[in-house]
Amino acid sequence: MLHQFSLPDRRVAATAGGILLLAALGLNTPAHAASYGTPTIAFSASYLSGAVGASGDPVVTVTVAQSGADASALGVAASASSKSSVAGTGDVTVTGATRRLSVTAHGRGYTDLTIKVTGLGGKTATKKLHYAASAAVRNAADTRYLTGSSDASAAVDVGGGYVVVADDESNTLRLYDRSASGGPVKSWDVGSELGADKEVDIEGAARVGDTIYWTGSLGNNKDGEYKSDRNTVFTTTVTGSGAATRLTVGGKYGKLRDDLVAWDEANGDRLGFAAGTDDGEAPKQIDGFNIEGLEFAPGSTTTAYLGFRAPLVPPKAGGKALIVPVTNFDRVAGSGAKAVMGEPIELDLGGLSIRDIRKNAADQYLIVAGSWAADDNSDPYALYSWDGVASHAPVERADLPTADPGGWEAVVDVPDLTVPGARAQLITDSGSADLYGDGTEAKDLDNAEWKKSRAVWFTVGG
């Protein structure tokens, strides 16, 4: 017997049958949508620092996923900003299959950026990126920011476009890409291997072959107290180059300061080292005791020049910068031999002292000259060239800009200074700088990703 259905009944039956057929074929869209999970979103770092007008600011990698969906089908965009005058949602760009997120800063300060992932089935998730922007600087196109620390104090080129940078507030050496802003590729905390409980206050470095020589400041701390860890010189051995660079700690010596004081006393106390290292004497005084430069003498792999930030000689306005040669420095730092000093060298740097000294294979030197004072981020800085010969005067190449935060502290390497347009990269110590306008010194920021030093290319050749 045939069952008769009214027209409405037939339409209901047809619809039900269609749904059953789609379900059987796995094409039931509403049922499938319900199987999508809630998307997830993660950042390679939750804190990011940029700068107004910067080129090549650091980026964050965004990783998203959703069960039941391919990650490539998910959308990522900024949905909110807590302070759009620093950076708004339209200033956030996400590019590439690996989703590299960058921010264009408009103003100095902080903002929390809400980043939303939109998955299939209309499901979403959000995560906050804590962003900080420093002010615009001069030479912005030639500036890169080395994040992760703010107190860069010495730097050595390791080839392949990479540099190892020391920090005078820690015992960590960091490997950076010289061409890009961002955090270190690798880092090495050498404190335990040196037996140092406190900071070595690394201030100078020089490379010979596969050995990098490092020196602490050898001075008292800012309160005039002797700290033995600061009286340290040591070596690291370089293996590989570029991003594949590896460092291993070699020799060390903890009495170079004592050797220098004894040598000066034996020679009539002409440099005042004993007084400069007395208890209660701050190191960064015109008659203090503080080493910031290290480089080897022309054609030598054994005699190193120690460049002093203090004292000036004589210790008064217009005094000369001081270099003391250590003729067996390879054995001092490498195997703990007692230091042997040569005749001191006095250089006229216009009343400034040595903040770094670096040479190339042709024995062309660059000297960063700055004040001996502790609060000198706005005091004069200058760049000098020299041939390393004690009787020859250095030549001023340029006045270095001082209006932006940070004091000039390190030269990465020295190009051929006879080539017009040749450039050198200099790095600042920005530890005392208020980068974001909230009165906090960079060294005291809670998040390492917001700490940074500036690396700037300057034309020095010709």
Residue 35 domain-assigned (yes or no): no
CATH of the domain at 70: 2.60.40.1080
Residue 434 domain-assigned (yes or no): yes
Whole-number pLDDT of residue 18: 40
290 and 383 in one domain? yes
Residue 5 domain-assigned (yes or no): no
pLDDT tens digits for 163-185?
999 999 999 999 999 999 999 99
Residue 417 domain-assigned (yes or no): yes
Range of the domain at 351: 140-459
Average pLDDT over all residues of the chain = 93
Whole-number pLDDT of residue 20: 35
Residue 450: phi and psi, rounded to 5, are -90, -15
Total domains present in the chain: 2
177 and 128 in one domain? no
Helical segments of 202-340, H only: 256-266, 273-276, 329-335
Q: pTM of the full predicted structure?
A: 0.91
Strands (E) in 373-422, as ranges, are: 381-386, 395-400, 407-411
Residue 14 domain-assigned (yes or no): no
149 and 84 in one domain? no
Confirm if 16 and 24 have CB atoms less than 8 A apart.
no
The order of strands in the sheet holding 246-253 is: 202-208, 211-216, 233-239, 246-253
Confirm if 350 and 368 have CB atoms less than 8 A apart.
no
Q: Are strands 100-103 and 109-118 parallel, antiparallel or unpaired?
A: unpaired
Mean pLDDT to the nearest integer, 93-104: 96
Residue 16 domain-assigned (yes or no): no
Mean pLDDT to the nearest integer, 400-413: 95
363 and 306 in one domain? yes
Whole-number pLDDT of residue 29: 42
186 and 81 in one domain? no
151 and 120 in one domain? no
235 and 353 in one domain? yes
Mean pLDDT to the nearest integer, 14-41: 55
pLDDT tens digits for 245-275?
999 999 999 999 999 999 999 999 999 999 9
Mean pLDDT to the nearest integer, 156-160: 98
Whole-number pLDDT of residue 374: 80
Amino acid letter, 240 = G
Residue 10: phi and psi, rounded to 5, are -65, -40
- Is 33 a residue whose pLDDT tops 70? no
Q: In the block, which residue shows the tokens 């620390």?
A: 149
156 and 88 in one domain? no
Residue 175 domain-assigned (yes or no): yes
CB-based burial label for 74 (10 Å; 0-12, 13-18, 19+): buried
Local confidence band at 354 (pLDDT 50, 70, 90 cut-offs)? very high
CATH of the domain at 414: 2.120.10
401 and 307 in one domain? yes
Residue 46 CA, distance from chain mean position: 18
172 and 320 in one domain? yes
CB-based burial label for 142 (10 Å; 0-12, 13-18, 19+): middle
Domain boundary among 107, 134, 161: 134
For the ranges 17-21, 126-130, 301-305, the lowest mean pLDDT is seen at 17-21
Domain boundary among 87, 116, 134: 134
Whole-number pLDDT of residue 56: 86
174 and 101 in one domain? no
At 267 the three-state DSSP class reads coil
- Is 4 a residue whose pLDDT tops 50? no
pLDDT tens digits for 202-212?
999 999 999 99
Q: In the block, which residue shows the tokens 């809630």?
A: 38
pLDDT tens digits for 107-117?
999 999 999 99
CA distance readout (Å), 171 to 79, 310, 358:
40, 22, 21
Q: What whole-number percentage of the chain has pLDDT above 70?
A: 92
326 and 426 in one domain? yes
For the ranges 24-28, 72-76, 279-283, 422-426, the lowest mean pLDDT is seen at 24-28
Domain boundary among 84, 104, 134: 134
